[in-house]
A = this chain, B = another copy of it.
């Protein structure tokens, strides 16, 4: 009766701040920290990694296409050998910063357009898996249930973890209802917490047509890019804990991530 909460962080860049990492690090158990390619400058990454270490929150490398102006949200048709090297570089840079503040990277979560692409594109997926394996094959990979990259990573011997989106409505086939449709995002704290509790206890979530579908989820992705998102995350965690559900990292067998 345990679940992980993960969120994106370290996404400020120079003068531009984004998200309230400090507040989020009191809520989540896994921090997907930007590595400098879609967001994150070294000094900001270091601050967030340091706060994560202080809070015993596990760190994931939030690797991305090299696209600051597009925030990594635009598909880039990169050759696999370039992509592989880009991913190695990003994981390594974050790992070194994490080590400098006494913690470490325990998993990789691809970001944005890369996340979506390698859910279906075998060539780029393989490049990402090769990169992770080349850095450290004990690193976990956090991805969508049923993704192409998940399957390739399993075959390569990586530890693969799946995530669900508790504040998003699901279609009966397990895909998310697109944001453009009404009801795609659930704003009620109790409803979101109930969905997670049910997911933890039964491995199922209610789809928009009322049917219960199986979702394999080691972690729940929560958003922190607005004050209300942080409030939501905080309230959800509080509800889960009062329901007797343990909130703990997926990468550390229920232990806090420590130095």
Contacts and interface: CB of A to CB of B under 8 A. Distances in A.
B76 A88 contact: no
Nearest to A96: B92
A77 B82 CA distance: 18
Interface centre among A12, A68, A79 (most CB of B within 10 A): A68
Contacts of A97: 85, 88-89, 92
B70 A76 contact: yes
Contacts of A96: 88-89, 91-93, 95-96, 135
A14 B68 contact: yes
Contact of A135 (B13, B75, B90, B99): B99
Nearest to A74: B77
Given A71-B14, A96-B95, A45 B89 contact: yes
A85 B43 contact: yes
Interface residues of A, number: 48
A86 B134 contact: no
Interface of A: 11-18, 36, 39, 41-43, 45-46, 66-71, 73-79, 81-82, 84-86, 88-97, 99-100, 113, 134-135
B134 A89 contact: no
Closest 8 CB pairs of A and B: A92-B96, A16-B16, A42-B85, A15-B71, A42-B89, A93-B93, A43-B85, A75-B77
Given A67-B76, A89-B97, 14 more contacts: A13-B68, A15-B18, A15-B73, A36-B89, A45-B85, A46-B88, A67-B67, A88-B97, A89-B93, A91-B96, A92-B94, A96-B96, A96-B135, A99-B135
B39 A82 contact: no
B135 A82 contact: no
Interface centre among A36, A79, A100 (most CB of B within 10 A): A100
A141 B198 CA distance: 56
Contacts of A66: 69
A217 B13 CA distance: 34
Contacts of A89: 36, 42, 45, 93, 96-97
Contacts of A12: 16
5 contacts: A13-B16, A15-B39, A92-B97, A92-B99, A100-B135
